[in-house]
A and B are shown apart, each in its own frame.
Chain A
């Protein structure tokens, strides 16, 4: 199914990606490349299309136009069955962790191994407890229900679930949103460690600049459905792009105008 990947070919290549909801254009021709083993962070304000971009890459949304290639293979035209196979390459940490309420923590972590790959439950449980350990959670946590965990612990469990099947690509959706700065930094460190240990390719979306600086090799900024700047994480303070400058310094004044109605 997959084609041979040349050394220079990106792991993920997005070209001219378009998506609208009714008359609202959300993605207006996104171009994006993510190299093998690279950690790309997509930054941008709320409602600029960050989540929609990754949902299109994962196949959770069907794009209106454009191309998405994973390992050189076009994925926008894949059938449901082939897409399920392709998704075995992915791990995803959702913004709210999206843990399954009805399952215990270890069953959440082992879910992809048991349901997606047909692994024996005992073997999957052992791997789940090992992954929980990798994110700093003891085996006793494995027996709890998600509702019994704090927000930070839920994020860690979500991270353990994302890395359980040792995916080639990991997607992080707002990994530090809703966490205090210290717990946010703990999650950032875990993301860096897990991605490095697995040698995975990572795409993160965030508007938390501390998080972006810590986990990114490269940063791309999205505004009004287009990538308006892309470069190394170390270059972002000297981007020369007024939109990027305004965003990373969190200034209300600048070319990005928030649509706020007068009281």
Chain B
């Protein structure tokens, strides 16, 4: 019995320790975002990596998401004679929910893993220590540019994903399901409010921060060579994905 309690205690203390380390890392990273020097060139490079190079994968998933959504909505709503609501359902689902979440999950897989692997490799090959000995703060040089770039770039990506996703729904609705193109677009525009788009962009900003933060945190604390870097990459993607879904619920309950 005592052994069992000791095991539970060890796990709990370990959890508290990990939570504390994560909180300190997050606060330290945030505080460095507002203190010079700010490496604008590195932020620009990260924005290209996170945003520009993620466009194909995010665009592709947004297209198919919009297309599937139009098909499923039409199938389901036709049973209640409400097929005309397809355009509204597609645009609201994409802008409020699926655009930010799908784009964030794609970026978590592509960028979160890359950040963790790059910083993790730098950790296990002493490159982060080398930065310190060259009078350069690794948090400022490695972590801040990625977090700022994630925060700024994901909303831009989601804006593009929203447009492409709605367009995907439009293509299926008009060419496959026989909707009138003009009335479909009319319904889409009529039922879309600015708050629908902005709430999605707010979510995207939070998700971008989470993806970059998780990649940086797990990479920064990786240990033990190639195996440690591999584990850091897995943790970064899994934890970012879970937190994206958790914060999606929290933000939805606050914003709507």
Which A positions have Cβ atoms within 8 angstroms of B? 55, 58-60, 80, 84-85, 87-88, 90-92, 94-96, 98-101, 111-112, 115-117, 161
Contacts and interface: CB of A to CB of B under 8 A. Distances in A.
Interface stretch (B127-135, B148-156, B163-171): B127-135
Given A96-B125, A115-B141, A88 B135 contact: yes
A12 B126 CA distance: 23
Interface of B: 121-122, 125-127, 129-130, 132-137, 141
B135 A98 contact: no
A88 B134 CA distance: 7
B141 A95 contact: no
A94 B127 CA distance: 9
9 smallest beta-carbon distances between A and B, as pairs: A116-B135, A112-B134, A98-B126, A98-B130, A92-B133, A115-B136, A94-B126, A84-B135, A87-B135
Contacts of A112: 134-136
14 contacts: A55-B129, A58-B132, A60-B132, A80-B137, A87-B132, A87-B134, A90-B133, A94-B130, A98-B129, A100-B127, A101-B121, A115-B134, A115-B141, A116-B134
Contact of B136 (A85, A90, A111): A111
B126 A96 contact: yes
Given A55-B129, A99-B127, A100-B130, 9 more contacts: A58-B129, A59-B132, A60-B129, A60-B133, A87-B135, A92-B133, A112-B134, A112-B135, A112-B136
Contacts of A99: 127, 130
Contacts of A92: 130, 133
A111 B134 contact: yes
Contacts of A80: 137
A99 B127 CA distance: 7
A18 B121 CA distance: 29
Contacts of A96: 125-126
Contacts of B136: 84, 111-112, 115-116
Contacts of B137: 80, 84
A98 to B, nearest CB: 4
